[in-house]
Chains A and B, each alone.
Chain A
Amino acid sequence: MTTTGYDPAPAAGYPDAPPRMGFFTDTSVCIGCKACEVACKEWNAVPDDGFDLLGMSYDNTGGLSANTWRHVAFVEQAAPSAASLDVLREAAEGATQFLGMPSSTLPGETGREDRDLRWLMMSDVCKHCTHAGCLDVCPTGALFRTEFGTVVVQEDICNGCGYCIPACPYGVIDQRRDDGRAWKCTLCYDRIGDGLTPACAQACPTESIQYGELDELRARAASRLATLHERGVTEARLYGHDQNDGVGGDGAFFLLLDEPEVYGLPPDPVVPTRELPSMWKHAGVAAVTMAAAAVAAFLGWRR
């Protein structure tokens, strides 16, 4: 049960659903060891994703895909020095005319050499959204909401239609080229049902990946964030924790040390089906209007 309103498992029809379970991934303690990637593949017998040197720092996996359900991102950046932060602050306050023009630097970078290096690492995973786009559009019912509030795709039902692929605002779920079916993280449904911890969380040596009841994880995350802010790590923020965001909050949420875009995450994910009721309503109104106009036109014709 969540503290505010909507709880996906009861809403999906489970009469006595257990507490909602999820992940809190604290990237501030991630050491980029990729044990999570390997443990997940070992447990789920996920095939390797190809031997390609991508040159994205130490990330040779690239991103979440049908054959990668935990993906560690590496972002090498120079943290802005205090002086350059002042410049940006001044600009924002209107002391100089800041046009917001695009520059050669990306979010999170200021393009200067004289500052401390920072290497951000983050283990990305399916967000198990409260309002899950993949789940909403699946025509076969292969994708379903479990009693734990997680989203799982059943590989023996999936017909490979691919509707779920564009429906995910995070770009997580993906089809395997050889067999056409959609695959993604199951939040180790076959482990948590027996009271075990998901493979990635079990393997993570620094407890960057934490598994547990979502309410408890949210409380822990808030406390961790406060601690970091107290220590002067002001760029620390939570991502996916807000139940009022475009997907109703994530079952797998994160603590980041910079803007989501820096990690390759969408800043404002929205479940594509959110507008569906209003879209159908508008379509309905448009249809009725068109029918009325047609009737009016024909009545006018008769006259």
Chain B
Amino acid sequence: MAEAHPVGFQWVMEAKRRGATVIHVDPRFTRTSALADEFVAIRAGSDIAFLGGIVNHILANELDFREYVLAYTNAATIVSEGFQDTEALDGLFSGYDPETGTYDPSTWQYEGHNGQTSHDTHVHRETAGGLRQESHGPPVPAETERDETLQHPRCVYQILKRHFSRYTPEVVERLCGVPPEQFAKVCDAWTRNSGRDRTTALVYSVGWTQHSVGVQYIRTGAIIQLLLGNMGRPGGGIMALRGHASIQGSTDIPTLFNLLPGYLPMPHHQRHETFDQWVDEIRHPGQKGFWAEARAYAVSLLKAYFGENATPDNDWGYGYLPRMTGDHGTYQQVLNMIDGKVKGYFLLGQNPAVGSAHGRAQRLGMANLDWLVVRDLYLIESATFWKDSPEVETGEIVPEECRTEVFFLPAASHVEKEGTFTQTQRMLQWREKAVDPPGDCRSELWFFYHLGRLVRERLRDSTLERDEAVRALAWDYPTRGPDDEPSAEAVLKEINGYDVATGAPLPGYTALKADGSTACGCWIYSGVFADGVNQAARRKPGREQSWVAPEWGWVWPANRRILYNRASADREGRPWSERKAYVWWDPDKGEWTGHDVPDMEKTKHPAYRPPPGASGAAALAGDDAFIMQGDGKGWLYVPSGLIDGPLPTHYEPVESPVRNPLYTQQANPTRKVYDRADNQLNPAPPEPHSEVFPYVFTTSRLTEHHTAGGMSRQLAYLSELQPEMFVEVSPDLAAERGLVHLGWAHVVTGRAAVEARVLVTSRLRPLRVEGRVIHQVWLPYHWGTNGLVTGDSANDLFGITLDPNVLIQETKVGTCDIRPGRRPTGRALLDYVADYRRRAGLDATHYPPLETP
């Protein structure tokens, strides 16, 4: 966190100053570790085993916060008899279909609940369905069978206990390389600092997400925080640091293929032929919670999109929305480009030539388009690949013959335009424009507005059906100034939502209607312009308001700062302790009150229990803290919604030198793979020849540079701070491979060889894993061919293998070799890498099966 979020890290330091203990778990000792009280060196890719060991510690020693667990989790819920765990099936859950590499989750369901789940998990994987369920809560019955004594052998608590029983401290040592004394220290610190009086916060970032089991990493963290009663409580919770500013905003109002604003799913051509089918799948009739109003959110969104052209007669313009037909994820798109299936590409503020996995595939894909439009602050590598990429050096791309026509349009920086950022804590902060952009630089808003305007002008007289959608758009934003800059405030007002007849801004999402009388660009953001005031622009200093600081910016939903804060009080609505009081029930006033906006209907009594057959918000009991889940409870066990299992299980990374000691199943049996000659992955046991790539490598960031380097390697003041691409190795590895400090080395995988200067440091230490020494190698991923300082790109080393739930790439762990000296260049480089592939047994027809035989 100190490396990538130095300004945010000041709050960790403030907590430390006030006596908090900071524990840092990482494959290498970073600037965060330097300030932590305890640094735990871990093998990259083994975090589920580490966290699983903590879960086991909690359950085996009955250290869970029992009242919280009973009140707010599904620990007591009984699971159907057909469920079989990885313990019984050697690393698989019941229902695995080796043909599709996915599970039929019907045996995972709660007892007595059958038939309401989607069996089509294959489609879910193609469409990253897990991302939609981020705030959605897949279908489960409102009422479940429970055993409040937690003794029933099929209750979630007992299933959890059995499942994690094999994650002993010895296993943690064998698998992760963490010594038992240190592991005990972590378990102790975490459990002792959780409960009524104290809470512990868990912080993670892309070191957890960018794995083929990334979602399950986070699940394990969530299990611990639920068992210890840290969710929904001040000083507790799980903070997911993002990788880039406003990325939270980019999923809330998405730039993703499978989501519409507010986490409404993009319709699928088969499953959602009609508007009603689409809405009903979101609503889950019979479910608890606020998704029951999905029709109002959907209609209001369509009214925002299509204005007068969205009417009850045309299903509000539902027919105009695009439909998913399969995997439209970025990696599939790039492979489609290589295969000649994509004509054009808009690339805005992103540099996949450096920043995405498998750089070679990215660049070869971009070299096979009709046209490419790049908008950025500088000529990034993704704009100039056709003349200076590594493929030009090897002869795979010939500038004179490259068929892609590249248009570069300079972009305005964030101080040259107004608008909001949405950061990880769901906070929207409005930024004013400080200066005009220079020359031809323009904002994204300007670009898309005028592009849309020009396209619509071209199509004004078209009678083709395929042009109807664009012609039907409501595209009348006010513009001002010499550049006709659209008003960002007008867009924010539309996102907030307004009454169609009067234009009056809406106070929040509960005011949205399904009859076309309201329009709203993003239901979860409704309220950001309540009362006609730009709430996101508020900047009341912290010292002038309460410690929750509700008048700084605006947080969705409804300016609620901690989600699920109902769990900060007990079942009767009393705070767990004075010290940790956050929201509570005021019996005299008959309402919820406290330091934050309560995450419970204001006047719903804690003892309220819904009548049978209730649904929607009325079905939420007064102790249903997790209001977005179908049963109102936090899920220790996930009956549906995740492709790879209801419980996290240790699988080895797809590329690993270690045979999974826990199960026959080596890696995630449902992972998304692209079996192609240009995407071969290094062999992992039990496949032979994994010793050709004997070392584990991982990538991350330096404080001095930013992501793919477009915003830092062009600046002298930052470039001089870290002027060269380098690789960190331990003194032991340096000795083993003959690497010299400040000398050259190159790292080799089945995809590429990347050269770097050597930094020998004790901050990387060899780990003892499964009885042998495992060396880890670290690379920063910031370098490319353009800028004041240039170097090879670390992401060229990775192939494409994805988490099945959200289609994120595994770029935090792989296997490699490292050798002294610079890499070959030109055709010799291709031959060099090909020789490694040959020795590793990678030929064009060999792909390991998903299910390890």
Q: Do A and B come from one complex?
A: yes
Interface residues of A (CB under 8 A from B): 29, 31-35, 37-38, 41-42, 47-53, 55, 57-58, 60-61, 76, 78, 116-121, 205-207
User: What are the residues of chain A within 8 A of B704 when measuring CB–CB?
Assistant: 34
Which residues of chain B from 713 to 755 have a CB within 8 Å of any chain A CB? 716-724, 726, 741-742
Does A117 lie within 8 Å of B762, measured CB to CB?
yes
Instruction: Provide the residues of chain A in CB contact with B742, threshold 8 Å.
Output: 53, 55
Instruction: Please give me the residue from chain B that is nearest to A224 by CB atom.
Output: B17
Q: CB distance B31 to A55 under 8 Å?
A: no
Residues of A within 8 A of B722 (CB): 58, 60
Give me 19 A-to-B residue pairs in the complex whose CB atoms sit less than 8 angstroms apart, sorted by A's number: A31-B13, A31-B35, A32-B2, A32-B34, A34-B704, A37-B717, A41-B717, A48-B719, A51-B788, A53-B757, A57-B761, A60-B722, A60-B723, A117-B33, A117-B763, A118-B34, A119-B33, A119-B34, A121-B34
Q: How far is the CA of A38 from the CA of B270 in the complex (A)?
A: 55
Contact yes or no, B6 A55, CB < 8 A: no
- What 0/1 pattern do residues 690 to 727 of B give for CB contact below 8 A with A? 00000000000011100000000000111111111010
Q: List B contacts of A117 (CB < 8 A).
A: 29, 33, 39, 762-763
Please pick, from A32, A51, A53, A78, the residue contacting B703 in the complex, using a CB distance under 8 A.
A32
- The distance in angstroms between the C-alpha atoms of A57 and B761, with both chains bound, is 8
In the complex, the answer to whether B31 meets A121 with C-beta atoms within 8 Å is: yes
In the complex, chain B residues whose CB is within 8 Å of the CB of A34: 703-704, 721
Interfacial chain A residues near B719, Cβ < 8 Å: 48, 51
What per-residue 1/0 map shows which CB atoms of B785-828 lie under 8 Å from chain A? 00011000000000000000000000000000000000000000
Closest to B13 in A: A206
Partner of B720, one of A33, A49, A57, A58: A49
Once bound together, how far apart are the Cα atoms of A37 and B6, in whole Å? 14
Closest A-chain residue to B7, C-beta based? A205
Contact (Cβ within 8 A) A51 B33? no
Given contacts A55-B742, A57-B761, A205-B9, contact A32 B720 (CB under 8 A): no
Q: Which residues of chain B have C-beta atoms less than 8 A from A118's C-beta?
A: 34
Q: Give me 12 other A-B pairs in contact (C-beta within 8 A), A52-B720, A78-B762, A207-B10 excluded.
A: A31-B34, A34-B703, A35-B6, A37-B717, A37-B721, A53-B723, A53-B742, A117-B29, A117-B33, A117-B763, A121-B34, A206-B10
B759 interfacial contact with A, CB 8 Å: yes
In the complex the two chains form, what is the Cα distance from A189 to B788 in whole Å?
A: 32
Residues from chain A with Cβ under 8 Å of B13 in the complex? 29, 31, 206
Q: Which residue of B lies closest to A35 (CB)?
A: B6
Q: Are A42 and B741 in contact (CB under 8 A)?
A: no
Q: In chain B between 3 and 49, which residues have their CB closer than 8 angstroms to a CB of chain A?
A: 6-7, 9-10, 13, 17, 29, 31-35, 39
Question: What residue of chain B has the Cβ atom nearest to residue A50's Cβ?
Answer: B720
Is there an interface contact between A60 and B9, defined as CB atoms closer than 8 Å?
no
Q: Are B761 and A42 in contact (CB under 8 A)?
A: no
Closest to A59 in B: B721
Q: Cβ of A121: which chain B residues have Cβ within 8 Å of it?
A: 31, 34
Inter-chain contact B763/A55, CB cutoff 8 Å: no
Instruction: Give chain A's interface secondary structure class.
Output: loop
Closest 10 pairs (CB-CB, A-B):
A51-B723, A119-B34, A33-B6, A48-B716, A53-B724, A55-B742, A205-B10, A31-B2, A206-B13, A48-B720
Q: Provide the residues of chain B in CB contact with A29, threshold 8 Å.
A: 13, 17, 35
Residue of A nearest to B731 (CB): A113
A residues less than 8 Å from B717 (CB atoms): 37-38, 41-42, 48
Residues of A within 8 A of B762 (CB): 76, 78, 117
Cβ–Cβ < 8 Å partners of A53 in chain B: 723-724, 726, 742, 757
The answer on a CB contact under 8 Å between B720 and A51 is yes
Q: Tell me the complex Cα distance, A181–B789, Å.
A: 28
Q: Please give, as numbers and ranges, the residues of chain A lying within 8 Å of B724 by CB-CB distance.
A: 51, 53
B interface bracket (residues with beta carbon within 8 Å of A): 35 or more
CA distance A57 to B702 in the complex (A): 13
Contacts of B702 in A (CB 8 A): 58
Question: B77-98: contact bitstring with A at CB < 8 Å (1 yes, 0 no)?
Answer: 0000000000000000000000
Contacts of B763 in A (CB 8 A): 76, 117, 119
Nearest-Cβ distance from residue A116 to partner chain B, whole angstroms: 8
* B-side contacts of A206, CB under 8 Å: 9-10, 13
- Report Cα–Cα, A118/B39, bound state, in Å: 10
- Contact A33 B703, CB 8 Å, known A53-B724, A55-B742, A207-B10: yes
Interchain CA distance A119-B764 in the complex, whole Å: 13
Question: B407 CB to closest chain A CB, in angstroms?
Answer: 31
Query: Which residue of the partner chain B has the closest CB to A204?
Result: B10
Q: How far is the CA of A41 from the CA of B719 in the complex (A)?
A: 13
Q: Which residues of A contact B6 (CB under 8 A)?
A: 31, 33, 35, 205
Given contacts A53-B723, A53-B726, A53-B742, contact A31 B757 (CB under 8 A): no
CA distance A47 to B723 in the complex (A): 15
Of chain B, the residue at the smallest CB distance from A53 is B724
- Give the residue among B34, B724, B726 with the most A Cβ atoms within 10 A: B34
Instruction: Note all chain A residues with C-beta closer than 8 A to B726.
Output: 53
Q: A47 — nearest CB in chain B belongs to which residue?
A: B716
Complex Cα–Cα for A130 and B32 (A): 36
Residue of B17, B31, B716, B741 touching A119 (CB-CB under 8 A): B31
Cα(A58)–Cα(B759), bound, Å:
9
Residues of A within 8 A of B35 (CB): 29, 31
Q: Which of B35, B719, B759 has the most CB of A within 10 A?
A: B35
Contacts of A58 in B (CB 8 A): 31, 702, 722
Q: A35-B6, A206-B9 are in contact. Are A61 and B31 (CB under 8 A)?
A: no
Q: How far apart are A60's CB and chain B's nearest CB, in angstroms?
A: 6
Bound form: Cα–Cα A42–B716 in Å: 11
Task: Give every chain A residue within 8 A of B741 (Cβ-Cβ).
Answer: 55
A261 vs chain B, min Cβ distance (A): 20
CB distance from B715 to the nearest CB of A (A): 9
CB A68 to nearest CB in B, in angstroms, measures 9
Q: How far is the CA of A48 from the CA of B720 in the complex (A)?
A: 7
- Return chain B residues, CB-CB under 8 Å to A57: 761
User: What residues of B have a CB within 8 angstroms of the CB of A78 in the complex?
Assistant: 762
Are A33 and B31 also in contact (CB < 8 A) when A48-B717, A76-B762, A206-B13 are?
A: yes
Give Cα A254 to B726, complex, Å.
Answer: 31
Binary contact readout B301-326 vs A (1 if CB under 8 angstroms, 0 otherwise): 00000000000000000000000000
Closest chain B residue to A121 by CB distance? B34
Chain B residues lying within 8 Å of A37, measured Cβ to Cβ, are 717, 721
CB distance from A119 to the nearest CB of B (A): 4
B2 contacts A33, CB within 8 Å? yes
Tell me, rounded to whole Å, the shortest Cβ–Cβ distance linking B345 to chain A.
33
Contact B759 A55 (CB under 8 A): yes
Distance to closest chain B CB from A273 (angstroms): 34
A61 touches B721 (CB 8 A): yes
Contact A31 B31 (CB under 8 A): yes
Quote the shortest CB–CB distance from B148 to chain A (angstroms).
44
Task: Return A123 CB to nearest CB of chain B, in Å.
Answer: 13
Taking CB atoms, residues of chain B closer than 8 Å to A120 are: 34
* Contact call B31/A32, Cβ cutoff below 8 A: yes
Residues of A within 8 A of B10 (CB): 205-207
Q: Give the docked Cα–Cα distance between A37 and B715 (Å).
A: 14
> How far in angstroms is the closest Cβ of chain A from B614?
49
Flag if A76 contacts B9 (CB, 8 Å). Answer: no
Q: Please name all residues of chain A whose beta carbon is closer than 8 Å to the beta carbon of B721 when the two chains form the complex.
A: 34, 37-38, 60-61
Q: Which residues of A contact B761 (CB under 8 A)?
A: 57, 76
Measured CA separation A38–B17 after assembly (Å): 26
Query: Which residues of chain A are near B17, meaning CB under 8 Å?
Result: 29
For the complex, what is the distance from the CA of A31 to the CA of B30, rounded to whole Å?
Answer: 10
A42–B9 CA distance with the chains assembled, in angstroms: 23
Within the assembled complex, what's the spacing in Å between the Cα atoms of A49 and B717?
9
List the A side residues contacting B34 at CB < 8 Å: 31-32, 118-121
**Which of A31, A119, A207 is the one whose CB lies under 8 Å from B29?**
A119
**CA separation between A118 and B763, bound complex, in Å?**
9
In the complex, what distance in Å separates the CA atom of A58 from the CA atom of B705? 13
The docked-state distance in angstroms from the alpha carbon of A286 to that of B704 is 58
Minimum distance in angstroms from A228 CB to a CB of chain B: 11
Point out which of B29, B720, B789 has the most chain A C-beta atoms below 10 A from its C-beta.
B720
